[in-house]
Amino acid sequence: MKKRHEQKLIILSIGLLICFGIPVSLLFNSEKEVFGFPRILIYIFSVWMISILISLFIVKKYDE
């Protein structure tokens, strides 16, 4: 893997650290529900799924 692809994965990791940080996560911690699930769970699992898809795209597209 080239250096620039590793840098993209590092940037993704830093972005995930910010997204899963306490101040940002507490923005979604409320009593409101979406389809019967708390908003915090929807946020955590959607960020997790998006990060998996982005990392899959980076690894598959630039796998050399």
Q: Where are the domains of the chain?
A: 3-61
36: left (phi over 0), alpha (psi -120 to 50) or beta: left
User: pLDDT at position 64, please?
Assistant: 59
- Of 2, 44, 33, nearest in space to 10 by CA: 2
In tens, the pLDDT along 2-32 reads: 788 889 999 999 999 999 998 888 888 888 8
Q: How far apart are CA 31 and CA 52, in angstroms?
A: 28
pTM, to two decimals: 0.80
